[in-house]
Chains A and B, each alone.
Chain A
C-alpha cells in the first residue's frame, strides 16, 4: 500500500527534535495533522490525478530546456505550418518554429502567472475579508460595496480594459492585472467565515482574559480561515492560468515571454482553425486544458478533505 504520511511525518519530526521533547511534541502533532490531510488528499482519485499532472508540468517548466532539440527562435522557410510528425510532434508554426519547443517554453510563464496572481488575489482577499468581517459597522459596509463593485463588473472586460490601459505589458504587469481582478470572491468567503467565528466562545474567552484585536485575529481567527483560503487558492490558480491564456489570445497578454495563449493567438491569426495544421492550435490548447484540469482536481480533492461532511460516506 501507500506511504501513510500521518505516521511517517510524525516520526521524522519527533526524531529530528528529539533533544527538545516539548518542542518535538508540539511539532510532531502539527506534522501529524498535516500528514493526515495529505493522506486523505491522496486517498481521493482526484487528488492523485491532479498531483501527477501538476508535477509533470512543473517538471517540464524546470527542465524543458535540457530536452528540447530546437531553438525557440530557429526559423525555417521550407518547413513552416507543418502538421504533426515524429520530428515535430506538435507541428511547426507560420515561421517554421517548432510548436512543441514553444509550448515547452511557455510552460514556465503560464505556471508563474498562475501562482503569482493567485498569491496576490489570496493575500488581498484574505486581508480585506478579515478586516471587513472583524471590524464590522459602517467600515464593513463601505468595503463590501467596493467588493460588490468588483464582483459585478464583467471580470473579463475589466481585465481587458486594464491590460489595454497599460502601456507596456510585461509578465509582471499582467500578473498584477489578473491578481487585482480576482480577489473579491475570496474576500466575500473569508468575511462570511470571520463573521461566524467572531461570535464563537473561544474568541469571547480570549477577549475576556484581555487579548487585543491583533492577537485575536492572528491567533484565533486567521488559523481558522486558512483551510478555506487554501482550498480556494488551488482553484484560483486554474482560473488565473485561464485568464492569462484568454488575455494573450486577445493579444493583450505579456509581450516579453512566450505563453500558450500567445501560440494559440498566432495559430488563430494564421487561420489554422480552417486550413490547418490543426496540431498548431490543438496542442497548446491541450496543455492549458490539462494544467487547469490538474489544479481543478486538486482543488476539489482538497474541498473533499476539508469538508468532513462529504468525507464521511
Chain B
C-alpha cells in the first residue's frame, strides 16, 4: 500500500512538471496578457508584471518556485478575474462534483441492472437491444447529444430550463426546498446527458464480465446444490462480475471529466469545465494550469480509492 501511495505521489509530481512545461510552451507573453486587462497600460506596469511573475528568473528557478507555490497552496492569480484562481473556482468545484457525482451514481445503478439483464438473456432480442442501445449512445459526441436534448426538451417543449445552474439572481445558500427543486430542475438535462453517455460503458463491461463468470464451474455447483437462479446471481455471479467495473470506473474518471466539460459548456452550467473552456478562449493560463492540476490529482486519488475498494471486494487481490 505504501508503494501505491508513493507511486501516486510521483505521478502527481510528474503532472505538476508537465503542467509547468506545457504552459511555458504557450506562444504568448504572460506579462503582456496580464497587462492587456489592466486599465493603465504603461510599460512600467509591464515590467512590474514581469518582476512579480518571476519571469526574469531562469527556468530552473521558475520551476522550483512553481513547485513551492503549488505545495504552499499559492495557485496563482487569474488574468481575467484578477483574483486567486482558487477563489474563482471554489464554488464551481462543488457544482461540478454535484453534477458528476449524481450522474456517476446513476450510471452505476442503471448500467449494472441493464448489463445483468443483457447477460442473462444473452443472444436474445433483449440482449441485442440493450447492447445496441449501449453502443449507440457510447459513440455519441457528448456535446452533440447535449444540443439534441436541448432542442427537444428546452427549445421546443420548454419543460426544462435552457441554461445555468439555477434561476439567475438567486444564491444557493441558505438552502430552502424551493431552491433544491430549482437546482434539480436545472440539473436534469445535464445529468441525463452524462448518465446516458456513460451508462453504455458500464452495461457492456457488466454484460461481458457476467457472461464470462456464468461459464465458471462454481455457478454450476451453485445450481447443483439447489439454489435458484436469483440466489446464484446474488451470491456467486454478481460479486465476481462487479469487480472489473471498479477498475474501469477509476480509469474512466478522466473521461467523465471530459464529458462534464462539454455538458457544462452547452448548458452554461458554471462548473469547472465551463471555467476551463472560458479560460482557454480568454488565454487565462493560470486558471488552465490550476484546473489541469486538480483534474490530474482527482484522477490519481480516484485510482487509489479504487485500489482500496478492490481489496475490500476481492480478497484475492494483494496490493504490493
Contact = CB atoms under 8 A, between A and B. Distances in A.
Given A238-B139, A289-B139, A149 B257 contact: no
Contact of B254 (A146, A154, A162): A154
B288 A161 contact: yes
Interface string B149-160: 011000100000
Interface residues of A, number: 50
Given A246-B141, A289-B140, A296-B138, A160 B280 contact: yes
B143 A292 contact: no
B7 interface: yes
Interface string A246-283: 10011110000000010010001000011000100110
Prevailing SS type, chain B contact patch: helix
A293 interface: yes
B138 A165 contact: no
A285 interface: yes
Interface in A269-310: 273-274, 278, 281-282, 285, 288-289, 292-293, 295-297, 300, 309-310
A289 B27 contact: no
A157 B151 contact: no
Contacts of A46: 135
Interface in A157-198: 157-158, 160-162, 164-165, 167, 185
Given A151-B254, A165-B25, 20 more contacts: A145-B11, A149-B18, A151-B299, A152-B15, A152-B299, A153-B254, A153-B296, A156-B257, A157-B291, A160-B276, A161-B22, A162-B22, A165-B26, A242-B139, A246-B258, A249-B262, A289-B141, A309-B212, A309-B215, A313-B211
Pick the 10 closest A-B CB pairs, nearest first: A292-B139, A156-B258, A285-B144, A154-B295, A152-B299, A149-B14, A154-B257, A148-B11, A273-B147, A293-B139
Interface of A: 45-46, 145-146, 148-149, 151-158, 160-162, 164-165, 167, 185, 238, 242, 245-246, 249-252, 261, 264, 268, 273-274, 278, 281-282, 285, 288-289, 292-293, 295-297, 300, 309-310, 312-313
